[in-house]
């Protein structure tokens, strides 16, 4: 599982080149500056080679933050 660094405002600090088959959804691990693990759902992959992403902070089963945005996807169909 890839690790993506993000600051507390959801800006990606570093990201791997992500590869997904077209139309599929994948999840990578995200870590913010405080060290919290965040789930990053990516997909589906569109022809623009960009996909919607949703970042959700979870701690102890509760959601403590949520951000949305876009991420470039390399190798998309």
Q: What confidence tens digit (pLDDT) does each residue in 48-64 have?
A: 444 444 444 444 554 44
- The half-sphere exposure of 20 on its side-chain side, counting CA atoms within 13 A, is 24
Overall domain count for the chain: 1
Is residue 64 in some structural domain?
yes
pTM of the model: 0.24
Partnered with residue 57 across adjacent β-strands are 38, 65
- Please give the pLDDT value at position 57: 42
46 pLDDT more than 50: no
Is residue 42 in some structural domain?
yes
Range of the domain at 15: 3-72
Rounded Cα gap, residues 3 and 48, in angstroms: 24
Q: Are 54 and 40 in contact (CB under 8 A)?
A: yes
């Amino acid at each position: 599982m890839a690790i993506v660094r993000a600051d507390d405002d959801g800006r990606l600090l570093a990201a791997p080149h992500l590869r997904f088959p077209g139309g599929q959804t994948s999840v990578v691990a995200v870590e913010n500056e405080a060290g919290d693990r965040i789930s990053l759902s990516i997909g589906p992959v569109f022809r623009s080679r960009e996909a919607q992403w949703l970042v959700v902070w979870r701690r102890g089963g509760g959601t403590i933050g949520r951000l949305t945005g876009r991420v470039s996807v390399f190798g998309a169909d």
